[in-house]
Amino acid sequence: MWIGIDDTDSPQGMCTTYLGALLARRLEESGMEIRSLRLVRLNPNIIWKTRGNAAIAIEAEGDPDSAFSIATDLIEELADLSCEKTNPGLVVCGEIRPPATFAEEAITGFCTIEGAIAACGDAGARYRLWKNGRGIIGAVAAVAAEFSDATSEYLVYRDVNLHTSTRFVDPVSLRLAEEMTYPGTWDTCDPGNNLIVCVPHTPDPVLYGIRGNDPVWISLARNLVISEAPVLEAIFETNQGTDAHLLRGSVGTLEKGRSYSVPGIVASPPKTGIGGHVSLEITDGKDHLTCMAYEPTKGFRDSIRALAPGDRVYVCGSYKKRSLNIEKIQVISAPPIRVADAPLCESCGKKMTSAGKDKGYKCRVCG
């Protein structure tokens, strides 16, 4: 069977991945076998998201009615139901899963609660909605998702009741883990900006998370990390870092709230605006598209600023407010820029000037 959950957290605490990891443990304690834990990243442009728009699916062997009741109890015990923005959803289905097309739309576009309920009906799934029930969208998408590509995340949790933003995770051990396992793992540290990126600063139960290619790489890195004592750990299979949210797009045809990979030619020199945000204009020869590299992307902006008119690129990112928010870029071609200019004088080093038509150059300083 498959169990899907979503929307159990709030900015003040909890995390749906923690609830999923704990649910897996409780199902195991009741005698069920856990086959996999999945962390499914949905459309990053969804305004209702708390953080990274993740939903959780558990693949397990056991009685669906018991699983439904254990999951219901856990959501009521742990979900932050007092928060207006927390609207949990739960689905449990057997071998027949809701259609993968529902998950594709949830990852790249927009779904409705009615659509999610209809998908549950088609699959003969048990489901439950709390409050406005929006979480059923993510829950159904999580069990319906087919991964054509996948990565892994090792999540380590602390006491759910701490509700503080401070954590002890030794930065030296994290840098060592990064050094020993990169590129098999990533997003542990950001050496370019001397930052630790795998430890959150929010009051939720995540102590840290290690992302990587597969369970072996992330386990190697995790074993090098020194931290305060964790209360729970889990390895998730995930679609993060696989570009599952990117649609092929073209300049002039993009829809608001979706993410794209768009080919184009740089139309004008990139501009740095107020606040250090960099804008890049690309064209397909007919229409133009403004692409933005915002200040928090730090050194990435230097790569954008280095582009010049005529360079061919693929730009990837979310389309909103009539511009593409650049996540990454591929430079297809960047022909050398040739500048015709007078040479410097070999004697005094000053710039020479033309000595007249077909007469070469002359140094007007030293003669």
**Which residues are at the interface with ligand ATP (CB under 6 A)?**
6-7, 9, 15-16, 42-43, 46, 48-54, 87, 106, 110-111, 134-135, 137-138
Q: Shortest approach of ligand ATP to residue 244 CB, angstroms?
A: 12
Q: Cβ closer to ligand ATP: 135 or 264?
A: 135
CB nearer to ligand ATP: give 48 or 168: 48
Burial class (CB in 10 A: 0-12, 13-18, 19+), 165: exposed
Closer residue to ligand ATP (CB): 138 or 317: 138
CB nearer to ligand ATP: pick between 52 and 191: 52
Nearer residue to ligand ATP within complex by CB, 50 or 181: 50
Q: Supply the minimum distance, in Å, between the C-beta of residue 210 and ligand ATP.
A: 17
Nearer to ligand ATP, 45 or 181 (CB): 45
Residues 157, 16 contacting (CB under 8 angstroms): no
Q: How far is the CB of 19 from ligand ATP (least distance, A)?
A: 8
User: Phi then psi for 90, rounded to 5 degrees?
Assistant: -135, 140
What does the alpha-carbon distance between residue 153 and residue 214 come to, in Å, rounded to a whole number?
Answer: 8
Given phi > 0 = left and psi -120 to 50 = alpha, else beta, which region is 149?
Answer: beta
Q: How far is the CB of 155 from ligand ATP (least distance, A)?
A: 11
| Residue 72 to residue 210: CA distance in whole angstroms | 29
Q: How far is the CB of 326 from ligand ATP (least distance, A)?
A: 21
CB 291 within 8 A of CB 259: no
**Cβ proximity of 129 and 112 under 8 Å:** no
Closest approach, Cβ 75 to ligand ATP, in A, equals 12
Which distant-in-sequence residues (6+ apart) come within 8 Å of 102 by Cβ? Answer: 111, 115, 116, 119, 140, 141, 144
**Could you tell me which residues are beta bridge partners of residue 272?**
278
Residue of 55, 51, 27 whose CA lies nearest to 41:
55
**In the bound complex, what is the minimum distance in angstroms from residue 322's beta carbon to ligand ATP?**
21
Q: Nearer to ligand ATP by C-beta: 17 or 181?
A: 17
Q: Say what the alpha-carbon torsion angle 25, 26, 31, 32 is, to the nearest 10 degrees.
A: -70
CB closer to ligand ATP, 140 vs 304: 140
Supply the minimum distance, in Å, between the C-beta of residue 240 and ligand ATP. 11
- Give the nearest distance from C-beta 58 to ligand ATP in angstroms: 14
Name the residue nearer to ligand ATP (CB basis): 15 or 251: 15
